[in-house]
Amino acid sequence: MFADFLSKLIQPEPEQLDDADARLALTALLVRIARSDGFYDAKEVDHIERIAARRYQLDTAGAKDLRADAEQLESEAPDTVRFTRAIKDAVPYEQRTGVIEALWEVALADGERDADEDALIRMASNFLGISDRDSALARQKVEKG
């Protein structure tokens, strides 16, 4: 279903994604983080939908549709390294910094800090070009609520 999209995304010199495609790619990254601990539950789904609604001014149905498409894209996407690097090359920096906060929000949705999720977010931050300090600040902001 997303073969053309992924092919475009992982080109050596990808074009910058339009807003709709960037939303889909970033939401797919949220899904990947949520699934990384092998436990993808309703709380995490709800968080992803609320993040999508808030970040992209979507209604409930729009957020659900975006999340469903993102789940499909995530399942078809290449390994996290290539996928995240492709997002870095195709999505403006200001959108990438906001997604780190959203990644922490999803990772902490179950009330627990998982070592696998931490490692994946650190890796994603690095590949997205976000410093460890900025990622830590994003995590602290989410933890404070």
Closest to 114 (Cα-Cα) out of 41, 50, 52, 63: 41
- The stretch 135-145 carries a mean pLDDT of 88
At residue 58, the pLDDT reads: 97
C-alpha–C-alpha distance, residues 47 and 22, integer Å: 19
**Structural domain spans, the chain:** 17-144
The H or E element that residue 31 is part of is: helix 19-35
- pLDDT tens column, 86-105: 778 877 877 788 888 888 88
Q: Any idea which fold 17-144 has?
A: TerB-like (1.10.3680)
At residue 27, the pLDDT reads: 92
With a pLDDT cut of 90, the percent of the chain lying above it is 27
